[in-house]
Amino acid sequence: MAAAEGEQSPVQEVIVEEWTTGSSSTKLSITATISSASYSSSSSSFSIKRFHSRFNLAGKRILSAFVPEGFPGSVTPDYLPFQIWDSLQGLSTYIRTMLSTQALLSAIGVGEKSATVIGATFQWFLRDLTGMLGVILFTFYQGSNLDSNAKMWRLVADLMNDLGMLMDLLSPLFPSAFVFIVCLGSISRSFTGVASGATRAALTQHFALQDNAADISAKEGSQETVATMIGMAIGMVLARIMVGHSLATWLCFLSLTVFHMYANYKAVRSLSLNTLNGERSSILLQHFMETGKVFSPKQVSVKEHVLPLWTNPWNWRNSKILHARVRLGMKVSSLSSQEMMDLFRHAGSYYKKAKYLLLENKGRIGIVMHKDSTNADVLPSFMHALVMANISDSNRSLHSTSCSWMDKYYEEFLLKLRSSGWKTERLLSHSVVWKANWRCRPIDDKIN
């Protein structure tokens, strides 16, 4: 019923709350409350209560240029510690770059009256050429392993960069071997470029919780730019101060190198990757077979190696590293006659429905993939091989026992992996180049 003419309309109050998704889409925070009291269609009053000062808002605007939108909810928890240590190691790298470049230019002859432009140009060109060849060589031998061992190659990449800078700093001390030393340093740094770029792509995908890999990559560029500018400024000051002081230069360089290595180690150790590669699968499966439980990604990150196994042969010999005993994508034509007979016998008895074959020889397990197999078939084949490697020391009926284990426990193992935060869609491994095809049929059919 309409209000009677001349009767005053009741007072209406409308309250609007403003929220921000600065932390995540599920954890909102209120920033302001706006209330409006309306007495009539022509008169109203507004009041605004803000919960953040302009200084805080300006700080968030500046911070948004360096962290992904929605930080920290849009990235994994290990993003922040990794980026802090990564920025610190980058800062030390740029400072040392100024020192090593100064030494390199001095060795080429910059500032010397006897130096010729053509000579310096040729030496610099030869340095770049060897670096390009190093990129091709490293990609050829290790390109397919970078994604599956991102943590290890991330650390190795920076160690190779340290070696390259050391070569540049050494070059003035050995004038007769200058070109050789500089080329070695260039090759070392070329490995760094390939490995660092490839592993960065894998880590960016890991950090992205909201399909924001492009945003993460762009913000990392901003972080690196700031670290570069600070490092260059400090490096120029140090290079200016240390001109003619070789001992001070070396002490500064070596100190920064030690810090750089430590920061890189801490950065890699802070990562908790939830993708499955050979070593992480080995740690998870072995623990599950012993306890029936599954480690979380953070627990596995503490146990996995970040350096190649050959750097600590004592630890390798005294630990049960199952994945080192598995060879994925074995070439059938390279097998011996006895191995070939074993393979045929197992194909007709244990692996009739599988898209892979397993062959055990002196504790080592070879995997032959079927020509129709896909990436989804690689993970069960590798896990099956790990099971066989784990029981090979105490069980003679490897194939029957391992097949029984897979039939009974494999699906349960996958369910527990997914519930613990692991991605089980595929196994990060090198590309399977060699595949085979096999058909099992009665001998009578062959005779007919």
- Per-residue pLDDT of 208-245, as tens digits, reads 888 888 889 888 888 888 888 898 888 888 888 887 78
- Angle, CA 432 vertex, CA 429 and CA 437 arms, to 5°: 140
Sequence letter at residue 26: T
The two beta strands, 326-328 and 364-370, are: parallel
pLDDT band at residue 23, thresholds of 50, 70 and 90?
very low
With a CB cutoff of 8 Å and minimum separation 6, the contacts of 430 are 144, 145, 148, 328, 329
At residue 448, the pLDDT reads: 43
- Per-residue pLDDT of 249-291, as tens digits, reads 889 989 999 999 999 999 999 999 999 999 999 999 999 999 9
Burial class (CB in 10 A: 0-12, 13-18, 19+), 155: buried
In the chain, where the domains are located: 12-63, 79-271, 276-436
Sequence letter at residue 50: R
At residue 413, the pLDDT reads: 96
Length of the chain: 448
CATH code for the domain defined by 79-271: 1.20.1250.20
At residue 109, the pLDDT reads: 57
For residue 410, the number of C-alpha atoms closer than 13 Å in the C-beta half-sphere is 16
At residue 144, the pLDDT reads: 63
At residue 131, the pLDDT reads: 80
Sequence letter at residue 242: M
Q: Identify the residue with better confidence: 352 or 305.
A: 305
Nearest to 123 by CA among 171, 161, 79: 171
Burial class (CB in 10 A: 0-12, 13-18, 19+), 23: middle
Sequence letter at residue 334: S
**Residue 50 CB neighbour total at 10 angstroms:** 13
**Residue 62 CB neighbour total at 10 angstroms:** 8
Averaged pLDDT, 186-195: 83
Q: Across all residues in the chain, what is the average pLDDT?
A: 80
Question: Residue 80 pLDDT > 70, yes or no?
Answer: yes
Question: Residue 401 pLDDT > 50, yes or no?
Answer: yes
Nearest to 276 by CA among 233, 242, 323: 323
Question: Residue 384 pLDDT > 80, yes or no?
Answer: yes
Greatest mean pLDDT among 45-49, 159-163, 419-423 = 419-423
Q: Hey, CA dihedral for 26, 27, 31, 37, is it positive or negative?
A: positive
91-105, 307-321, 418-432 — which is least confidently predicted?
A: 307-321
Distance CA 91, CA 316 (A): 34
With a CB cutoff of 8 Å and minimum separation 6, the contacts of 18 are 30, 31, 32, 33, 34
18-32, 174-188, 247-261 — which is least confidently predicted?
A: 18-32
The sheet carrying 29-38 orders its strands as 12-20, 29-38, 44-50
Averaged pLDDT, 195-200: 81
Q: Hey, CA dihedral for 189, 191, 197, 200, is it positive or negative?
A: negative
Greatest mean pLDDT among 96-100, 135-139, 220-224 = 220-224
Quote the DSSP letter at residue 432.
-
Token readout for 209 is 């919780």
Phi, psi of 232 (to 5 degrees): -65, -40
272-286, 311-325, 354-368 — which is least confidently predicted?
A: 311-325
Provide, for the chain, the percentages of residues in helix, strand and coil under a 3-state DSSP scheme, each rounded to the nearest 5: 60, 10, 30
* 155 within 8 A of 265, measured Cβ to Cβ: yes
Nearest to 83 by CA among 60, 67, 61: 67
Averaged pLDDT, 358-381: 89
pLDDT band at residue 411, thresholds of 50, 70 and 90?
very high
At residue 369, the pLDDT reads: 92
* 357 within 8 A of 351, measured Cβ to Cβ: yes
At residue 412, the pLDDT reads: 96
At residue 269, the pLDDT reads: 92
Q: Identify the residue with better confidence: 6 or 332.
A: 332
| pTM of the shown model | 0.78
Greatest mean pLDDT among 9-23, 72-86, 407-421 = 407-421
Phi, psi of 35 (to 5 degrees): -120, 145
